[in-house]
Amino acid sequence: MLSSESGLVLTISGKEILADRPVPIISNIDVVPYKRLMDPEIAIDALVDGYYVLITDFYSSGLTILRELKKYLKNIHSDQSFQGQRDFRSVFRELSHRILLLVNNNKLTVRKAPVIGWFKTLYPELNEFLLPFPQVQGLNSSWQWYEKGISIPVLDRRIHPFFGTYFPTRFEHLKLFDNWLKQYKGEKKSAIDIGTGCGVLSFQMLKHGFGKVYGTDSNPNAIIGLNEDLNENKLYSKIDLLHGDLFANCNLKTELIVFNPPWLPASYNLEGLDKAIYYDDNLFPRFFAEAKKHLKAEGKVVLLFSNVAQITKVCECHPIEEELSGGGRFQKELFIQKKVSPASRNTRRNQNWRASEMVELWVLKIRDSK
């Protein structure tokens, strides 16, 4: 890995990949300074009026404003439906990102602030800049996950997700896939893991005897982080990484294609990690069209999905069912569902719909031409 004047760079297969990072504010902007002895309503009014608010004393002052902003917005956005909660989070995100912190010499300038190693890694060329408070929170959480690692039950080891990389926090779909792999009788020469993320599905396939896995991802941070993992665990000969959308313009043909796509349709333009959670109208048609080109005649396509969009009334259509009924390319070989665990008692979101959620494993094969 190398650091450049524009951040962290990885050279892989002769191509440079630049890490994504929260966009630093380096231009002069007008801000409303805030200290904890001030009335939080001053900050809330400034945010609503379109101003930036700069925290100047303690890290906890930013937490106070976020808490008061949530109270203010909940009085306005009281709809507790799934869509209502999405609307609330959208407005909260817009306003909360106007709360700023100053970073100087790889450290936050406010007192009692967390130490975040990503500042040095992702901003090597910048001595001083501003970042929105929620993005600093994200960097902090990410650094803790990266340092401590996350235990993945189906792997019997920890992964260390790089900043901006999606990682699983629920494991029912991974257990479905693991059980399927135990019974899989096909060839195990190679497989393609579409949208590999932290590489969990790829590692599962290696555990079950696959000789070579090709992991693709359009997120440069996923490729950078997974490359670190492969080098540290001496698995670089087993997994080849490809940076790009879906099949990353590769010419491979394989006996198994695995895809854990986003489970919810998007309602706005997607950026960053949202692409791992929400899908646009073209994702599934593009995937199935390309998958047929990259699948050997007797190969399988495995998709891990959920019925969450249907049970929350966000969307009545099911993109895999739509492909099977009208795509003309694939037919179903196997379909398995597994009930998900109840939402954590610690969550503040209303997730009573989890009682009806099922994760799904679909196994497809190329449709008979008869």
Q: Closest Cα to residue 349, out of 142, 48, 74?
A: 74
Read off the pTM.
Answer: 0.86
Q: Per-10-residue mean pLDDT for the chain, 370 residues long?
A: 63 84 93 94 94 97 94 76 73 93 97 97 94 97 95 92 92 96 95 97 97 96 94 92 94 96 75 71 94 95 91 83 93 94 54 74 88
Report pLDDT for 352: 57
Report pLDDT for 57: 96
- Cβ-proximal residues to 363 (8 Å cutoff; 6+ apart), any chain: 180, 300, 301, 302, 332, 333, 334, 335
Report pLDDT for 350: 44
Report pLDDT for 354: 61
CATH number of 151-366: 3.40.50.150
Helices assigned H by DSSP within 77-159: 82-96, 118-122, 133-148
Partnered with residue 191 across adjacent β-strands are 213
Eight-state DSSP code of residue 294: H
Numbered ranges of CATH 3.40.50.150 in the chain? 151-366
Helix (H, G, I), strand (E, B), or coil: what is residue 156? coil
Give the CA dihedral 11, 17, 18, 22, nearest 10 degrees. Answer: -130
Q: Indicate the helix (H) or strand (E) that contains 180.
A: helix 172-183
Report pLDDT for 204: 97
Cα–Cα distance, 143 to 160 (Å, whole number): 9
Give every strand in the sheet of 15-18, ordered side by side.
Answer: 2-4, 7-12, 15-18
Report pLDDT for 299: 95
Query: Angle at Cα 167 formed by Cα 142 and Cα 359, nearest 5°?
Result: 145
Eight-state DSSP code of residue 58: B
